[in-house]
Amino acid sequence: MEHLLDNRVLLIALGASLVAQLIKVIIESIRHRCLKLQVFFETGGMPSSHAALVSALATGIGLTQGWDSGLFAIACVFAVIVMYDATGIRRAAGQQAQLLNQIVVEIYENSPPDPLKELLGHTPVQVIVGAIVGIFLMWWLL
């Protein structure tokens, strides 16, 4: 466990994800003019914490292991898959959930069941901003 806590790349990458989640709380609290702490535990929104995590990880591996290393290549491919998934499959699933929720409300006018979670994925801008957060924090803190 001690060696795990000495892994600065891992700690900063996880920290980048937490910072992105805190930024979401701030943005949503400003938008709704009240403190929205529950956003910290939700997926989706601005910026993408997944993108912040994987971009920070790839950057940290590049900085410590070399930009030409196999580990950096693996981290980059992993980051691209995660960010593509966030804007593609997960976002489409959220849009489908939104449509299904509308249909269910129309069918069950009096007492519809609990709605499906709609905010699953990210827009490309949310992913780009998350990636910038992750890269910046890794460059700054490593």
Give tens-digit pLDDT for 67-91. Answer: 999 999 999 999 999 998 888 776 6
Is pLDDT larger for residue 101 or for residue 52?
A: 52
CA distance linking residue 81 with residue 10, whole number of Å = 19
pLDDT band at 116 (very low <50, low <70, confident <90, very high): low
Q: Tell me: the pLDDT tens digits for 41-50?
A: 887 789 999 9
Instruction: Output the CA torsion sign for 58, 69, 71, 91.
Output: positive
Domain ranges of the chain: 2-141
pLDDT beyond 80 at 18: yes
More confident: 62 or 31: 62
Please tell me the distance from the alpha carbon of residue 135 to that of residue 129, in angstroms, as a whole number: 10
